[in-house]
Amino acid sequence: MVDILALIPARGGSKSIPRKNILSFGGYPLIAYSISAGLTASSITRVIVSTDDPEIASIAHEYGAEVPFLRPEEYSQDQTPDLPVFQHALQWLEDNEGYCPQIVVQLRPTSPLRKVKHIDQAVASLLKHPEADAVRTVCEPFQNPYKMWQITPAGVLKPLLDTNFNEPYNMLRQELPTVFWQTGYVDAARTNTIQTKNSMTGEIILPLVIDPEDWIDIDTRADWTRAEQLIETGEIPWSNLGFKIETAQKLKG
């Protein structure tokens, strides 16, 4: 059996929405959604939360995740990128448990309405392509960067991208190259990519293209309100997500 680890990073010091990882979202702590999706995905063999916060750790345990360590403060700062967080987790697991999964899937708590099928598809894609370092979910953006601008120090507009197109910002969208936005919805990488190549993606990155409507990321309070409405009104039904949220006690029962 291939060991596939779902790792959920959830530090306690969120700035945009304080304590957001454990605030009630549609009746459950926000982090419970990512935990439940990971536990339901058939490809995932273990779900771990990396946090520096004992309260988050307790709630994560309650909903079925493992929290075998508390993340050190040095890896829990506002500007800490993903790589050292994942390297710390993998090194701790190897040093303390002799555990080394082949693939690590990142499930950010800020994408609570993630579909289980996309987790399994990302893992399947990476397993099918041994030459690949990682898989990332992407979608077509709402705005094409060929139509975007910068403002120069002189205060005039300059196209964001230098291209061979004649005035691409005046071209029809259909005439421009198709581009994709990385969503952060599901990211899967080989452990070797993270530990040896010192990268969350490596060089060969496969796309998993999702519908733009599936990508719901919570960064602001407005994002939170809109996303919560989608689940509470049934506009996004639970059946579409592919999981239900239960406490660890119910899961064992």
What are the pLDDT digits (tens) for 115-144? 999 999 999 999 999 999 999 999 998 888
- Tell me the pairing of strands 149-151 and 157-159: antiparallel
**pTM of the predicted model as reported, rounded to 2 decimal places:** 0.92
What are the pLDDT digits (tens) for 27-38? 999 999 999 999
Closest CA to 119 of 186, 181, 184: 186
- With vertex at residue 88, the alpha carbon angle to CA 87 and CA 91, rounded to the nearest 5 degrees, is 80
CA distance 185 to 180: 14
Which has the minimum average pLDDT: 49-58, 199-208, 239-248? 239-248
- Tell me the pairing of strands 205-209 and 134-139: parallel
Can you give the pLDDT at residue 17? 87
Can you give the pLDDT at residue 14? 78
Q: Is the pLDDT of residue 249 over 70?
A: no
Q: Is the pLDDT of residue 179 over 80?
A: yes
The larger pLDDT score, comparing residue 13 to residue 92, is at 92
CA distance 73 to 69: 12
Q: Which CATH class is domain 4-140+180-252?
A: alpha beta
- Tell me the pairing of strands 181-190 and 103-106: antiparallel
CA distance 170 to 148: 11
Question: Taking the domains of the chain in order of start, what are their residue ranges?
Answer: 4-140+180-252, 142-178
